[in-house]
Each structure stands twice: as structure tokens, then as C-alpha cells.
Chain A
Amino acid sequence: MGLAFKIETPAATRDAEVVTYRDALLQTMRGALNDDPNAILLGQGVDDHKGIFGSTIGLADAFGKDRVMDTPLAEEGLTGIAVGAALNGLYPIQTHIRADFALLAMNQIVNLAAKYRYMFGGRFEVPMMIRMIVGRSWGQGAQHSQSLQSLFAHVPGLVVIMPSTAESILSSYPWLIRHHRGPVLCLEHRLLYDIGFRVDASPGAERTPAVGSRKLRAGKDVTVVATSIMVLEALRAADHLAELGAADVELIDLHCVSHPDTDLILDSVARTGRLLVADTSWQAFGVAAEMCRIVCERDPGLLKAPVKTLGMAPAPCPTAKSLEDLYYPNLRRLTDDILRLAKGRDDHGVPLPDDASATDVYKRFKGPF
């Protein structure tokens, strides 16, 4: 079942069971098809034996290949087809096996889907979802590893989410599919698919907040705002520091990159005075930069120390494991940065966790995937 991260949300306190990220996605896709006869899944391989890493497996048998449609290799065309289908009463869910392929559909995403409602004065709605998977490890390289949330979140009209846990999938996907009448882009992390999470399995479990950022851990020394798999890395760092009594971390899972909960972030920074942003992408012009904008525009005086940010090295992703391990921020660096921020000096003297790469911790497979 893999690692079982205990996520401290109100919903996870009773009747907890372990659900993998993959099973949360599968459950959500099945629920969407069950709830709405006009919901369809579109994507290369959605109906095959691998089923988008298991997140659509069996659904073609259950709902038919006219609703769980394998598609030609035509990313722009298929996103345009999804837009047109949404304009005429369907709820399309399109999948990209890697986020990098969504770049082929940027015209439809940015010029059309994001603008259809506004550009026509509210005459149209384009309710649809585009799921894309961020790759990492085992030589994914420059074109199978990009984490493109800031490109999408930059454009008004798009809702961009990055689920970090099974709970965040179960609480946001069904709500967005049912209630949001515009395009939703989901960036899912490949390394999380195999990870199990404690979630509330009780009937009628309340899953709130549905979409916004969530505070996963309260603390008084440092505010860490993280996305996707960096949320789990930050939890590991926070647990390590708590065990040593070295620093008390407040952790915010940004979750909805396009619509961050600025009050939650600012309230936290106002109390801790220290901010670290850990993102899955490059720092420049991205989530890290945006968090700095949010704080500095409101009141840079909230900060007792300069902000620290972690992200990928400013280069395309290399394939050699030795380089890949340098390319991505690791637990040791994250923990060290938190301590430097909390203690106000570099020679804090606190023992750091070993620097086993995140891949070694999270990866549950061998070979190409």
C-alpha cells in the first residue's frame, strides 16, 4: 500500500482508511460518469489495459467506449472538440499522460477555453476538465517532466489545481465537476499515484474546503507554502524537526494554484514572520514568485527574514539519475532551508535527515511508466 501519510484535515480524524492517489482518481472518474450521463472521458489510452496509470481502468467496460473514448494523437483538436462538446451540453474530461503534451493544446486552452465565457459577454459556459500528469524520475527527461502550473495559472479564466493527496482529490474533483462551469486544469504528480493516504471513509464525510488552499499543520516558527509532492516533502521535514524540537512548521498546501487563499497565507505569515515556498517547478515567474508578490504587495513588513524558495534547477530536466537528484530539491535541502529561516543563521547545528532522493522514497515501480 505504500506510505500512509496522515493528513491532519478535520475530515481525517475518524473512520480513517487508506486510499491511494490512483484509487481516489479512479473513484472520482467513476463517480463523474455515474452521476452525469453527459460526462465523457477523452484521451489517448483511457480505455486500455493500463488506463492512465490505473486512474481510468475498467471504466470503458463499465460505461462503454463511446463515453470512455480512446482518441487520435491530436491534442489541439481534442481540446477543441472538448470545448465544442461542453458548449453543447457534455462534461468532457480530457487526459494527457504527461503535462508536456498539453503544450500542443495551448491554443485551445489559452485562446479559446479560457476566454469563451468572458469574450462573449457571459453568453457561453465551457464546463470541462483537463487532467495532466507531471512526470519525475527514471529518466523522464526534458519533455516528460515539466510542471507547467504557472503557465496556466497566469491566464485568467482557468482554474488550476495540483492535488497533493487522495483527500485533496476526493474533496475537489467531484465538487469542481458538479459545480464549476468553466475549464479546470488538474496537474497530477506521477510519483504520488502509488502513495496511500488516510482519508475519512465514513458515509457523508464532509470534505471541505472543496477547492482552496488548506492548512495541513499548524506551527509558529516558519510558514511553508508547498505544491503537489513538495507538500509531502514538507510534511516529512516538519515531522523531522518536530521530533528534534528544532522548529515548529506551519504547512499550507496551496492546492488551487490559480486561486490561492491569500488570507490563509497572509494570516500565517503575519504570525510566523517567515515564509518558505516549495514548488514542483522553476521559481522564476512561478508559484514562488507569486507568493512573494502576494506578501510584498500586502505588507513586506510581515516578514522578519528574507523569503526562501525551492524549485527545480533553472534548466531543462536531465535524465542521468546523478543529475536528476541535483536538479530537484531534496528533503535535506528543504529541511536545512527551513532551519536557516527559523534560526536566522546558516550554522544552526541541527542534524539533517539523510539525503535519499525523493524518487527512492516515493517510487513504487521499475522501468518505463
Chain B
Amino acid sequence: MTHDDIDLDTQLLYETLRIRLVELRIIQLYPSDKIQSPVHLSIGQEAVAAGACAALLPEDLVFGSYRSHAFYLAKGGDLRQMMAELYGKATGCCGGKAGSMHLAAPDVGFMGSSAIVASTIPHAVGAALAAKRRGLQQIVVAVFGDGATEEGVYHESLNFAALHQLPVLFLCENNGFAVHSRISARQSYDLLEHADSYGIPTRLCAKGNDPRAVYDTVAAAAERVRVERRPTVVVVDTYRQMEHVGIGEDHHVGYRSPSEAEPWRRTDPLVNESALVARFTPQILREIDDAVAFAEQSPWPGADALLADVA
């Protein structure tokens, strides 16, 4: 969402807040069982999507993961269609065949999301190969978590993108956990040094809950990818406030402590910018009410959809 009459920082906060409020509504709705889809919430990580997508152009492409509510919305995906998709309705962005884990909005360059970790990273590389071959000026963004960098296909993708100098921005949301496993238990390498070993320039944003900090980092990286037509790796440190999948908090089950969430909560702009939050919340809630009503009133996909678009 862009507003010509407000400054960039305010716009970024608005989008971050919008994503947060949408997911809080999902939490509210979930016990009703109307959303029968596994949800991987971005609460705590919204600023990554809001900041990164604001730094992109409309023609740029983004490939996401199963935790993609935030990127779908930030890239410009329609909220009504997202809510209808979570409800499994025919009016959803994918006609009710995708659910939360496979959101897509190709009309705004959100090119799909996959439940298989790391599996869309090579798609971004391939789309960048196509952009190069077709002489398009767009750049392509692969969004993934720190866990995805452990998959072989991440390494294959970095190698190919560097080898052929493709305009890909690899954007790692480093929240430090793969489900319940800490990065220290999983990785022998440093994310930035590793990318550097492929000759790929890197950038780090340590303040992943600050949308302006993310924007500044991604804008500089995206500009370089756009001009130099070669890949960059951006790592954004962030923190997942909720459990891996589902609507609960899980700081008391043993694998992490409430104290490590505390620094992130203390610096959360959605807590600290209370005046702006109060100002924007009512209009966002109206938008969400409208989207939920749209989802509730929409029809289920019919039998004709079952075998449509198979092959």
C-alpha cells in the first residue's frame, strides 16, 4: 500500500502494521475452524517483507516460502483474495487449491510459495536467467529462511547465479530457528562468508524488525543487482515470535526462553510507535473486516474445479 501524502517511514510502518493485524485476525479466526490450512505466521518478521518489497519495482518478481503471508501482502497481493484462499473459497487467489502455504499473485509479481524448504530458490534463478535472455530490466528475489541455506539446492542456485551473473537478490530471513532447532545446531558455516565464497556480494541487516533498516539494506542491494546484473545475498536477522506452525506462542516449551524474545519486543516499532499505530489501526481493521466478510460470503469451489488445470 502506498500513500503519496505520507513519508516513507510512515508508509513502511503502515504496511508492517497491516501485516501484523491481518495475522492477529487469523489467530482470532483460527479456533472457529473456518481456516483449515496450516498457517506459518510472520509475527515478528513483518518488517522484512514490508521493507524489502517497498525497495522493489512493480515488475520485479518475488518467490516465497510457506511463511509468505507477509510477502504476498507487501508485494501487493489482494487481501480479499488471500483471506478467501485461507478459507478455501473459489474466490481465493488460487481458487481454493493453495491455502496458506501456496499463496501467489503473479499479476503483482508474487510468483508462488512452496512448502518444500528451499524449493523456490532455483525458480528465482531461472526467472532471472529468463530476464537476462529476454532483455528485461526486472530483478528477481528469492525469499527463504536460514534453514533453507542447508539444502543442497541453495548451493546449486548460488553457484549458477554467480556463474552466469544473473540478477537475483537472495533474501534470507534469518530467524535463528528451523522449526525448533537452533542455527548453531545446524550450520558449520557463516551465512555471509559462505555466500562470499561464491564471489557474491553480501549485505547484513541486523535490525530485522525495523522496516526502514530493511528497506535501506535491500534498496542498496537491489540497486546493485539492477545495475550490475549480478546476484547479491542479503541476510536479515529477525525473530519469529510465534510457534513454527500454528497460532500459539511457544516460549515456555523449552527450546527457547522468553528472555531472548525480549530485545525484539522492546524494539518492535509496532509497540513503540503507538501514536501511528493508533491512527492507522481503525482503517486497516475495516479493510480486514471487509476481506473476512468477502471470504465468508464466497462460494466453495465446485466439482468442476477438481480436475481443472491438472496438466
Please report A residues at the B interface, Cβ cutoff 8 Å. Answer: 38, 40, 66-67, 71-72, 74, 76-90, 92, 107-108, 111-112, 116-124, 156-159, 182, 258
Contact = CB atoms under 8 A, between A and B. Distances in A.
B277 to A, nearest CB: 34
A118 B310 contact: yes
Interface of B: 61, 63, 92-98, 102, 104, 106, 111-112, 114, 116, 119-131, 133-134, 136, 140, 152-153, 156-157, 159-160, 163, 308-311
Contact of A157 (B121, B153, B156, B311): B311
Nearest to A183: B311
Contact of B159 (A74, A80, A82): A74
A119 B133 contact: no
Nearest to B61: A88
B229 to A, nearest CB: 13
Given A72-B159, A76-B152, A118 B309 contact: yes
Given A38-B134, A80-B153, A120-B98, A87 B127 contact: yes
A121 B160 contact: no
A104 to B, nearest CB: 9
A38 to B, nearest CB: 7
Nearest to A180: B311
A159 B129 contact: no
A77 B136 CA distance: 23
A112 B96 CA distance: 18
A299 B42 CA distance: 54
Nearest to B95: A121
A102 to B, nearest CB: 15
Nearest 10 interchain pairs by C-beta: A84-B126, A80-B122, A77-B156, A121-B95, A84-B123, A121-B94, A88-B130, A74-B156, A81-B126, A122-B309
B116 A121 contact: no
A84 B127 contact: yes
Contacts, number: 149
A123 B156 contact: no
A81 B160 contact: yes
Contacts of B308: 122
A353 B153 CA distance: 51
Contacts of B119: 80, 107-108, 111-112
Contacts of A108: 119, 122
B94 A85 contact: no
Contacts of B129: 81, 84-85, 90
B309 A85 contact: no
Contacts of A82: 126
6 contacts: A81-B157, A87-B126, A118-B97, A121-B97, A123-B94, A156-B310
Contacts of B311: 117, 156-159, 182, 258
Contacts of A78: 122, 156, 160
- Of A79, A84, A117, A118, most buried by chain B (CB within 10 Å of CB) is A84
B125 A81 contact: yes
A111 B133 contact: no
Contacts of A76: 122, 152-153, 156
B159 A83 contact: no
Nearest to B94: A121
Nearest to B102: A119
B20 to A, nearest CB: 26
A77 B153 contact: yes
A81 to B, nearest CB: 4
B94 A83 contact: no
B122 A77 contact: yes
A119 to B, nearest CB: 5
A121 B92 contact: yes
B94 A119 contact: yes
